[in-house]
Amino acid sequence: MEWRKPSACGDGNNCPEVAITSDAVYVRSTLLPDAIAQLTPTEWRDLLSAIRAGEFDV
């Protein structure tokens, strides 16, 4: 899988990474690269929508 992280992370070591395939989206942290969450494309779209809507802002 090709893992990608946000450009804002630069060389940081505490960043989210995402790998997208035709069937699923995989998400992990650079701090725990073996802990991988698998999402369906619909779940991924819902997560991005929630983030953009500020649902996780503290």
Evaluated on CA atoms 21, 13, 29, 48, the torsion sign reads negative
pTM value? Answer: 0.83
Strand partners, 19: 26
Taking residues 4-29, what's their average pLDDT? 91
Check pLDDT > 80 for residue 18.
yes
Percent of the chain with pLDDT over 70: 100
pLDDT tens for 24-48 read 999 999 999 999 999 999 999 999 9
Instruction: Say what the pLDDT of residue 43 is.
Output: 97
Give dist(CA 7, CA 25) in Å, integer.
Answer: 19
Instruction: Say what the pLDDT of residue 10 is.
Output: 79
For 51, how many CA atoms within 13 A lie in the half-sphere containing its CB?
6
In the chain, domain spans = 7-52
